[in-house]
Copies of this chain bind each other. A is one copy, B any other.
Amino acid sequence: MSQTPDSAVRTYIERHRAAFLDDLAEWLRIPSVSAQPDHAPDVRRSADWLAAKLEETGFPTVEVWQTPGAPAVFAEWPSGDPQAPTVLVYGHHDVQPAAREDGWDSDPFEPVVRGNRLYARGAADDKGQVFFHTLGVRAHLAATGRTAPAVNLKLLIEGEEESSSPNFRALVEEHTQRLAADAVIVSDTGMWSEDTPTVCTGMRGLAECEIRLYGPDQDIHSGSFGGAVPNPAAAAARLVAALHDEHARVTVPGFYDGVVELTARERELFAELPFDEESWLRTAKSHAAHGEAGHSTLERIWARPTAEVNGIGGGYQGPGSKTIVPSSAFVKLSFRLVAGQDPDQVEKAVRVWAEERVPAGIRHEITFSPATRPCLTPLDHPALRSVVRAMGRAFEGTVRFTREGGSGPAADLQEVLDAPVLFLGISVPSDGWHAPNEKVELDLLLKGVETTAYLWGDLAETWRHAP
């Protein structure tokens, strides 16, 4: 009796499930914490372990790419079909720090299955989500009888994502030719919930700066001089206060230039998500919603640019009081950017805006960190439709759309490789990224496997008919 392709995939996955989980557990035992120098050998071991596993999976080319920091793993499996599109999968093999005493119920580097969940540091972020691609491509081959994937499949799994990817962009620029792809699949995000499978369609960008303000050459007595000279802490406060108008819109002239506004359809789709503001506030550990007028909370965090003060300081910081006019103050600002905004233009606009607002007698310095660009894939992009179809088959339900409010190295791939970025993540908010007792839902992990088993065929087919 012949199987449908879907049942063939499921049968294959079921048969290999135990070995797959054993392998993943072995990888999770390697404490590849990129932020802690004494774990550098573990991060290297993690890269070597993954490289060996990808060879075993069947990738004809597997390389460990060194960087000035931790190594990345690159793998390539050509389709053999000259018409086939090329897909680059992105993930990372390093993990956040974790220690039993942080509140873990078991050793963070000794994976345990409790119920239908696998607990370990990296289970969801991001080893689990990288690893589903190994069984996924095998299931794709097994169900289709192919000996190579329907797409030219490339993987780039970096080792410094949890340390802000300091060497990632240079690595991508160095290997632009080998990484060239028609689409990038990022497996380092999540979905709405167990019951609501979603595809993320974009991430916000990020521009960060610190503004330092200098007044008197040293702290001076506020009795002798206060009220008669400019105060840099007050100047810092006035800058921050001037950032937003009464509608909580950013006042920096030119800040909204080019912003790709949400379409009516996108707003409808956001509104269809089962969003509960009270429970969201609990997750945000916050006590009120507040943001740009005329936009819902989801629109504010996913699709609207923001200006946030991340830190402010100046003058006396100890207990009690000290009657000084402080000599200096600082503010640390971050601007989340959405599609259409250019970080360089935002930097220029903020510099001009600040320059005009610093009072006479106060000197200022603005330092911008390297920016991250926003990325956004239109809802009707053919590759996105493929991801939605593949996920819909795996989850046997409607796939909805989210975006990600944060920012990530995906934008570097989009920009350097000039390829659309698609997000295929199966993690859920309760997975505890960066927190104690990180876990992955095993059913969802296998849905990830299944999705990729369908995705490569769908993508190859879609590409053939793409305009």
User: What is the interface of chain A, defined by CB distance below 8 A to chain B?
Assistant: 204, 206, 208, 210, 215-218, 220-231, 233-234, 236-244, 281, 284-292, 297, 300-301, 304-306, 308-317, 320-327, 329, 331-332, 334, 336, 359-363, 369, 404-407
Given contacts A226-B405, A242-B241, A334-B321, contact A326 B311 (CB under 8 A): yes
Query: Which residues of B sit under 8 angstroms from A360, Cβ to Cβ?
Result: 287-288, 290
The count of identical subunits is: 2
Listed from nearest, the 8 A-B pairs whose CB atoms lie closest are A288-B361, A223-B406, A227-B306, A241-B241, A237-B240, A311-B315, A311-B316, A229-B286
Across the interface, name the chain B residue whose C-beta is closest to A290. B230
Can you sample 14 A-B contacts with CB below 8 Å? A222-B334, A225-B405, A226-B405, A228-B300, A229-B281, A229-B284, A234-B241, A237-B239, A310-B323, A311-B317, A312-B312, A313-B314, A316-B332, A322-B332
CB of A86, distance to nearest CB on chain B (Å):
29
Q: Which of B234, B238, B332 contacts A315 (CB under 8 A)?
A: B332
Q: Which of B228, B233, B310, B321 contacts A222 (CB under 8 A)?
A: B310
Query: Which residues of B sit under 8 angstroms from A242, Cβ to Cβ?
Result: 241
CB of A438, distance to nearest CB on chain B (Å):
16
Query: Which residues of B sit under 8 angstroms from A321, Cβ to Cβ?
Result: 208, 210, 310, 332, 334, 369
Complex CA gap A224/B221 in Å reads: 42
Q: Which of B240, B301, B369 contacts A225 (CB under 8 A)?
A: B301
Contact A286 B215 (CB under 8 A): yes
Query: Which residues of B sit under 8 angstroms from A225, Cβ to Cβ?
Result: 284, 286, 301, 405
Contact A240 B234 (CB under 8 A): yes
Across the interface, name the chain B residue whose C-beta is closest to A323. B334
Complex CA gap A312/B406 in Å reads: 28
Query: Which residues of B sit under 8 angstroms from A361, Cβ to Cβ?
Result: 286-290
Contact A238 B236 (CB under 8 A): no
Complex CA gap A332/B363 in Å reads: 22
Query: Which residues of B sit under 8 angstroms from A332, Cβ to Cβ?
Result: 315-316, 321-322
Across the interface, name the chain B residue whose C-beta is closest to A408. B223
Contact B234 A285 (CB under 8 A): no
Q: Which of B281, B290, B314 contacts A312 (CB under 8 A)?
A: B314
Query: Which residues of B sit under 8 angstroms from A222, Cβ to Cβ?
Result: 306, 308, 310, 334, 336
Query: Which residues of B sit under 8 angstroms from A404, Cβ to Cβ?
Result: 223
Contact A240 B230 (CB under 8 A): no
Most chain B CB within a 10 A radius of its CB, from A226, A281, A404? A226
Complex CA gap A314/B236 in Å reads: 13
Query: Which residues of B sit under 8 angstroms from A331, Cβ to Cβ?
Result: 237
CB of A73, distance to nearest CB on chain B (Å):
26
CB of A303, distance to nearest CB on chain B (Å):
10
Q: Which of B221, B315, B407 contacts A406 (CB under 8 A)?
A: B221
Complex CA gap A242/B242 in Å reads: 11
Q: Which of B228, B309, B317, B320 contacts A233 (CB under 8 A)?
A: B309
